[in-house]
Every structure is written in C-alpha cells, then in structure tokens.
C-alpha cells in the first residue's frame, strides 16, 4: 500500500463510512463461560466469509468443537498473506494459555490478516477478541499455586506483528504496565480491519481520541527476561511478565467465580505546578480548576468503557487547547517577568522559560554543549540533570483587551523589534491556556480474590502526528546501519520503553480508601515492553499493515522536556510526569518540531520552516506541500498552509534569497485555535517511509558534497516526492524509475529582518544551489545553479 492509498484509506475511515464503533456492551452482558461463546463465534465465522481463510490450513469452521480446536492441525500455510509471521511452534487453532501460538487468534487479531474480498463488517469486534482471549486462557486455567504465588497486575496490551514485538521472532501478545492515551477533539473510533483505533477524523482540523486497552493478568517477575529477548527496557530483570489472564466468571479450584471491577484516577496539575515555577496569578486556588483538574471512576475528563474482561481508558473529546478560565468564566492571566540579560535563562525564542533551579539549568546547558562538541549521543541515557517540576515553557503571546477579548500578538505590534520588546517586557499580563495532558492510574479489584492488584500507569498526552510510525521501529531501523547522531544533530528516536524511571509516586491508587500511593518508586519496570519468550524459529519478515499502538514503544522517552511526558523530582525521587510539559502542549510542539524533530515518530520536523540550518538542520525531510505552500511560492501551486498552520520556505522571485517563517512570531497555539493544524497532512507517513526519507536525504547530502546532518551548513530549501516517475518529468528524463524524492539544497546567510510581510523573514543565498534526485534504484545530480533566475529553474 503506498502513501496516498494509506492516506485515502485513513481519511475514509475518519469519515466513519465503514469503521465500526467500539461495541458498548455492559460487563454483565459478556458471557461468563468463554468456551461456548468461542464455539458460537467460530461457527459463525463461516457465514461471515472466513471459511476460505481457514480452509487453507485444513480447518472447516462449522465442524469445530472443544476437542477439535485444541487438536494439532495437519498443515498450516505460512505463505498465505498475513500468516508469514505466525509463531513457528503454533500448530493448533487454540493453544491453551498462549494466544501467540493460537492460529484462530492470530487470524482474528493480526492487523496483517486481511482476506481478499472480506467485508469490513466481518472482522471481529474487540468484544469478540476478548472472548477468544478468555477461552484461550480458560483452557489452561491458573492453579491454586499460581493464584497464591504470581503477582496480579493491570497491563495494557496488544497483539502485534513480529516487527513490533520485543523478541522480533513472530507475531505475539505484547504488554506494558503503562500506556499512552492521546488527546483528541473527536470521539474514538475502532477500525476492525486495522485491529486498532484510528485517530484520523473526517475533518483534517480534528484528531480522534486514542484510548488504551487494559486487562488484569497474573504475572511473574522477570529474572533474566532480557536475555530471553522477552523485554525491551533498561533494567529488564525486574519486569513483570504476564502468565494468565483473569476474566469475569473464571472459576478457580476453590470454586471462586471472579468478577473484575476497574477504576481510574487521573490528575492534570500542570498550571498548579507552574505556580511554583514562577507563574504569578491573582486569587489562586491551586487545588481547584483550572489549576488542578481531576478525574475518578470515569467521572471527569477521563472516560472508561468496559469491553468484556478489559477496559478502554481515554480522554473525553474536547478542544485540544482553550483559555484557562475560573469557575465564574473569567480568563486567567499571569504577570510576565521581564526577559533576563541572558535570554536563554527565562526565554526560548518568545516562549517564557520557567525553572526552579538555576544551577541545575546551567549544568544541563553545559552538558548539552559538551555532548555536541564531543559528537556524543543527545540525550545521554540516564542523564536527568534538570527535573521539570512544572511546565518548562509557557505561551505568553496573548493578552486580554477586555474580559472576553483575547489579543493575539503575532501581528501586533507590527514592527518586529517592537514585538520582541513587548514579549520581553514584564509590564503586562499574558493569557494562560489549559490542555488535557494528564497522568494517572488504572486499577482493578476482583471479588472472590483477596489479593491487591498492582495498578497500571496511564498517560493522556499530545496527539501523534505520525500514528503509523513508532519510536522503537525507527530506532531499530537506524542502529544496524550507523549511530543515531548520523541522522540527528539533536534528539533521536529514543523510545519510552528504553527508560528507567518510575511513575509519579504522588499518584493515588483509585481502589484505596485511604489514598495510598499507587506505585512503588523503587520499581523502574513500568515502562518495560514485555512478551512471553519467543516460541520457535524466526518467522518471515514482512512490511506490516497499518496499526496504531498505545504501548511504551510508541512514545518518546524524556528530554528537555519531551513530547509525551517528562521527568520531575519529588522527595528526592526522579520520576515520570506530564506536569513538566509545555503549557499548553503546542508550545512544546513548536520548539520540538523546530529542533529537527526532537521526537521523530511523534513530532514533525519543522526546522526548515524556520530555516534553522546552523543548529538543527532538517533530519526527517517533509515535502513542500506538507510544510505549506506560500502564496508567493515559485511553483505557482495553490496556496495552502502546512500541518502546523505555517507556510514552508521557498525561493524568492529573483532566485537570490529564501523566504521562511519567523520563529519568534510563529505561534502554534494561535494556529490551533484558528483551526490551522492539519492532522491529515502527515498521517500516512509510516515508519518505513520516514526512514526512507531520512536515508534518501542523507545520501543526497553526501552526493552534493554537503556532509551529513551533523556537519552540514546547508539548508534543505525545497523538497518533492513522487510515487510514479510520470509525476516528475525531470527524473524521468534522466532515466530514473520508481518512486523517489527531489531535494534542493543551498547555504543561506543571516536573515534580513526588515521585510514587509509580518511573520516572514528572508535570507540571501551564499552558495550555488544543488538539486539531487533520489530513488531506491538510482540517483541523479547534483544539478547546480548560482543564485538568480537559474536557481528558480532547479526548484522541484
């Protein structure tokens, strides 16, 4: 499936024309005995069009009974699309206690199994997948010893293709004791064909809520799971690995019939923590909204939806950003402190930089400079010099002219120097904004079971602009070839599952009547990505079908401050938190995107939008149409804003300069409030295309003699992609074939800041331009031209 097909499909799903909503079945409506329910489901699959798929493996669905579903099959056709990565030791429709070796479960749960001609309505619902899971574990129930000795805990989990498992050997169930739910302005939507939730909404200005799915399992402490390739994280020896799933109706040897009840407790105290960092607000009630908001038992900003023996936890659809208001409706403002002589101390461009420990801040800055000078990886693993005990960056580019009228400072004062003086000034009040970023606990209690259940860590955070790309897959793609620093001057695809911090120790167990702490600060395995050991030889590798994840490998690890979550210190304990993220999160989005995709599988790369060629040149090249086509773009294509509401760079009409967005004036909060974010624009870029672009651009820099990401002084001025060679005649004319990319590069000088258009700057070209054409089959170029009209002729 190519990128355009993927985008079209995603957009179609977002329209709700064919995707199924999550089945809203109360827990007591789910069959308590999963075996009869499983048999009814298996027999019914014949009428839904699944017969030919199973007949290829010698299975006649209508003839199945309890005995036959656990009998070894005479053949399994692993050449059949979607079954290439089925576990090599799997030989049954149902392998008791092991979903990863159960052919039936693989067929129904794998996003790669999509039989030709199968109607979308024929794919299983989440409730039906839960029935199959429960039956698999019911056929190998826990013993009394298991119930006494194993640790009951709440896990987030998904069935994954081989490439997205810890061991990488075959498709398998993957678990984590934490999950990343994502904010959205539209309701969540389950796509049964993808076997995951689809965040793409009908309107490109909206993004759907992404939930996480949690269940209760009996688990065993690791003891060398990393050596067994069961885990991906720093200290795997302590990781809990699930052994048995617990479900409603499970009857143990002592005739106890279990019944599970879930609960949640989440908190958003970003603004309250900001009061400790320097926000100055009149009439403060830090434990009340909007400074602190809480959700408990699904009564608040977090929603719980029961699906069989599991629960979906998500944020409720809401505007992604809104002005913070008191209970009486008045907008909350903060008195802005003046900019210090050293601007980086309390400003980052025109964002207010909050801090509570100046020596630590200076130590971190010095360490970052030293790593750049030494060419070391950035960030360094385990390097936590400056905890973010409150929001690090705050938007201060909005003021209040009257009680209900907010002034956006992007265009006023019109004079750029006057604008910068106004932002630097401390003699004014700035509007505070709130978002839905929160962290919390998903807990469970089981009647008929007298042991406490370990809770899971739940994070509700910013949307993912690349829902079909994940940090771990990109990390794995890069490391076999060369160090991350060859692709990123700052940041890199460090996944959260590589982390080694505990969750916020101040979070409360929702099942505790006494407000007990939910997490042990000595346990650093919550972010571990775990599975059972690999069973059998490595399966065939395949390019996965799109699926959206919510486990710790899909999120970014923490660094200055992070996109998904960051770290803080409480009572001497370093821990994960969301309260240190920018306020609101688009403030972080701008700074991360401008820093050559600080977290590349979630944060887009906007460094060339702002012409940052010296410090953080583009690492993941976005095309001109993705960054936005300015009305004066030399291509003459229709003007259209980019994914972030900005316009991308372009050559001026005389071919002598580059026109680009002014990072000081750019305001992602204002763009979002105006509906200027486009969530469709980048949604179709998966991990494979992301790395393909990175590798193509790396090769283009080398071909042009411009070094690499870590050394180049050249800017990527224009970029174009094509799926078929006919779409780009220049490449066709030089004999290239297949899909490819065109990169126009050149070196620019200092910006001329006296320009007529507010929010734009120009910089003169200082060298010849070079155009390189790159495909997987070959390259062409560099084609060169000096600044001037000839440079325009090179523009792709």
pLDDT, residue 224, reads: 46
pTM for this model (two decimals)? 0.92
Give the list of residues 6+ apart from residue 95 with CB closer than 8 angstroms, or none: 70, 101, 102, 136
Q: Which residues of 42-70 are buried (b: 16+ CB within 10 A; e: fewer)?
A: beebbeebbbebbeebebebeebeeebbb
Backbone angles phi, psi at 443, to 5 degrees: -120, 175
- Per DSSP, what are the bridge partners of residue 577? 566
Helix (H) or strand (E) holding 44: helix 34-45
pLDDT tens digit sequence for 148-169: 899 999 999 999 999 899 888 9
Would you say residue 29 has pLDDT above 60?
no
User: Does the pLDDT value for residue 409 go beyond 80?
Assistant: yes
- What is d(CA 291, CA 684) in angstroms, rounded to the nearest whole number? 36
Query: Is residue 478 pLDDT above 80, yes or no?
Result: no
Q: Which of 10-24, 210-224, 356-370 shows the lowest mean pLDDT across its residues? A: 10-24
Compare 752 and 301 and report the one with higher pLDDT.
Answer: 301
- pLDDT tens per residue across span 47-56: 999 999 999 9
Q: pLDDT by residue (tens digit) across 415-472?
A: 999 999 999 998 889 999 999 999 999 999 998 788 899 999 999 999 999 999 988 8
The answer to whether residue 7 scores a pLDDT higher than 90 is no
DSSP reduced 3-state for 552: helix
Identify the top-confidence range among 238-252, 282-296, 553-567. Answer: 282-296
Q: C-alpha angle with apex 667: 662 to 673, nearest 5 degrees? A: 145
CA distance 520 to 42: 43
Show the tokens assigned to 715: 């800017």
- Residue 560 pLDDT more than 60? no
Q: Classify 385 in phi/psi space as left (phi over 0), alpha (psi -120 to 50) or beta.
A: alpha
State the pLDDT at residue 367.
56
Q: What is the DSSP letter of 454?
A: B
Residue 4 has pLDDT above 50, yes or no: no
Q: Locate 287 and state its tokens.
A: 């434990």
Q: What is the mean pLDDT of residues 759-785?
A: 95
Nearest residue to 457 (alpha-carbon basis) of 156, 152, 151, 150: 156
Query: pLDDT value at position 27?
Result: 37
What does the pLDDT look like over 127-141, one tens digit per residue?
A: 999 999 999 999 999
Biggest CA–CA distance in the chain, Å, is: 86
Q: Is the pLDDT of residue 393 over 70?
A: yes
DSSP bridge pairs for 14: none
pLDDT of residue 225: 52
470 phi-psi bin (left φ>0, alpha ψ -120 to 50, beta other): beta
- CA-to-CA separations, 602 to 209, 577, 590, 652, 690, in angstroms, rounded: 15, 18, 13, 31, 11
Q: What is the mean pLDDT of residues 81-103?
A: 96
Asked whether the predicted pLDDT for residue 498 surpasses 60, the reply is: yes
E strand map for 57-182: 151-160, 172-176, 178-182
16, pLDDT greater than 60: no
Comparing CA positions, the residue from 164, 170, 200 lying closest to residue 544 is 164
Query: What per-residue confidence (pLDDT) applies to 561?
Result: 53
Neighbouring C-alpha atoms within 13 Å toward the C-beta of 124: 25
3-state class (DSSP) for residue 331: strand
Predicted local distance difference test score (pLDDT) of residue 75: 94
Mean pLDDT of the chain: 87
pLDDT of residue 227: 44
**Residue 365 pLDDT:** 58
Q: Is 194 in contact with 544 (CB distance < 8 Å)? A: no
Contact in structure between 189 and 17 (CB atoms under 8 Å): no
């Amino acid at each position: 499936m190519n990128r355009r097909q993927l985008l079209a499909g995603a957009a179609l799903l977002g329209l709700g024309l064919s995707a199924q909503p999550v089945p809203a079945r109360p827990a007591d409506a789910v069959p308590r005995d999963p075996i009869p329910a499983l048999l009814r489901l298996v027999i019914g699959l014949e009428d839904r069009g699944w017969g030919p798929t199973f007949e290829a493996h010698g299975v006649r669905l209508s003839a199945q009974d309890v005995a036959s579903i656990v009998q070894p099959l005479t053949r399994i056709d692993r050449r059949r699309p979607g079954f290439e990565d089925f576990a090599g030791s799997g030989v049954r429709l149902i392998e008791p206690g092991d979903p990863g070796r159960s052919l039936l479960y693989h067929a129904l749960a794998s996003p790669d199994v999509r039989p030709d001609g199968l109607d979308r309505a024929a794919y299983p619902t989440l409730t039906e997948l839960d029935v199959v899971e429960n039956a698999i574990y019911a056929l190998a129930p826990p013993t009394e010893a298991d119930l006494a000795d194993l640790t009951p805990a709440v896990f987030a989990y998904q069935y994954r293709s081989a490439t997205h498992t810890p061991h990488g050997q075959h498709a398998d169930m993957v678990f984590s004791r934490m999950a990343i739910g994502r904010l959205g302005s539209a309701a969540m939507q389950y796509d049964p064909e993808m076997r995951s939730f689809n965040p793409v909404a009908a309107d490109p200005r909206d993004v759907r809520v992404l939930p996480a799915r949690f269940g209760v399992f009996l688990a065993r402490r690791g003891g060398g799971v990393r050596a067994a390739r069961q885990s991906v994280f720093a200290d795997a020896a302590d990781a809990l690995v699930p052994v048995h799933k617990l479900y409603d109706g499970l009857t143990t040897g002592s005739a106890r019939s279990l019944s599970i009840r879930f609960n949640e407790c989440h908190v958003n105290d970003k603004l309250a923590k900001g009061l400790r960092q320097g926000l100055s607000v009149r009439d403060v009630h830090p434990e009340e909204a909007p400074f602190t908001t809480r959700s408990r038992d699904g009564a608040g900003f977090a929603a719980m939806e029961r699906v069989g023996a599991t629960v979906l936890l998500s944020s409720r659809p809401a505007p992604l950003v809104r002005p913070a208001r008191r209970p009486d409706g008045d907008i909350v403002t903060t008195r802005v402190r003046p900019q210090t002589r050293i601007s980086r101390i309390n400003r980052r461009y025109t964002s207010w930089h909050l801090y509570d420990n100046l020596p630590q801040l200076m130590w971190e800055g010095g360490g970052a400079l030293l790593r750049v000078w030494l060419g070391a990886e950035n960030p360094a693993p385990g390097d936590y010099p400056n905890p973010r005990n409150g929001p690090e960056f705050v938007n201060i580019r909005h003021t209040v002219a009257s009680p209900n009228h907010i002034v956006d400072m992007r265009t006023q004062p019109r004079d750029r120097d006057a604008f910068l003086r106004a932002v630097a000034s401390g003699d004014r009040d700035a509007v505070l904004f709130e978002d839905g970023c929160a962290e919390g606990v998903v807990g469970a209690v089981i009647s008929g079971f007298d042991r406490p259940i370990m809770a899971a860590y739940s994070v509700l955070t910013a949307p993912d602009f690349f829902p079909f790309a994940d940090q771990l897959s990109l990390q794995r793609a890069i490391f076999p070839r060369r160090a991350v620093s060859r692709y990123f001057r700052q940041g890199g695809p460090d996944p959260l599952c590589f982390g080694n911090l505990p969750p916020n120790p101040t979070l409360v167990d929702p099942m505790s009547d006494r407000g007990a702490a939910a997490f042990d600060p000595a346990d650093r395995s919550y972010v571990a990505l775990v599975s059972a050991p690999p069973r059998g030889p490595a399966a065939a590798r395949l390019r996965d079908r799109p699926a959206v994840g919510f486990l710790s490998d899909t999120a970014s690890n923490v660094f200055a401050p992070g996109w998904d979550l960051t770290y803080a210190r409480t009572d001497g304990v370093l821990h994960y938190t969301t309260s240190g993220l920018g306020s609101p999160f688009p403030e972080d989005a701008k700074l991360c995107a401008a820093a050559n995709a600080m977290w590349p599988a979630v944060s887009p790369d906007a460094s060339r939008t702002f012409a940052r060629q010296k410090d953080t040149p583009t690492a993941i090249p976005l095309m001109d149409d993705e960054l936005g086509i300015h009305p004066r773009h030399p291509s003459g294509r229709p003007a259209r804003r980019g994914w972030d509401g900005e316009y991308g760079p372009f050559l001026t009409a005389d071919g002598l300069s580059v026109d680009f967005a002014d990072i000081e004036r750019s305001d992602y909060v204002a763009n979002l409030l105006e509906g200027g974010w486009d969530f469709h624009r980048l949604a179709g870029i998966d991990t494979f295309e992301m790395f393909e672009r990175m590798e193509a651009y790396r090769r283009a820099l080398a071909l042009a003699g411009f070094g690499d990401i870590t050394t180049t002084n050249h800017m990527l001025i224009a970029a174009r992609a094509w799926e078929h060679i006919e779409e780009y005649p220049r490449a066709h004319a030089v004999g290239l074939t297949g899909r490819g990319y065109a990169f126009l590069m050149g070196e620019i000088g200092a910006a001329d800041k006296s320009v007529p258009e507010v929010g734009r700057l120009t910089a003169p070209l200082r060298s010849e331009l070079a155009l390189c054409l790159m495909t997987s089959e070959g390259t062409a170029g560099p084609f060169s031209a000096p600044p001037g009209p000839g440079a325009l002729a090179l523009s792709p």
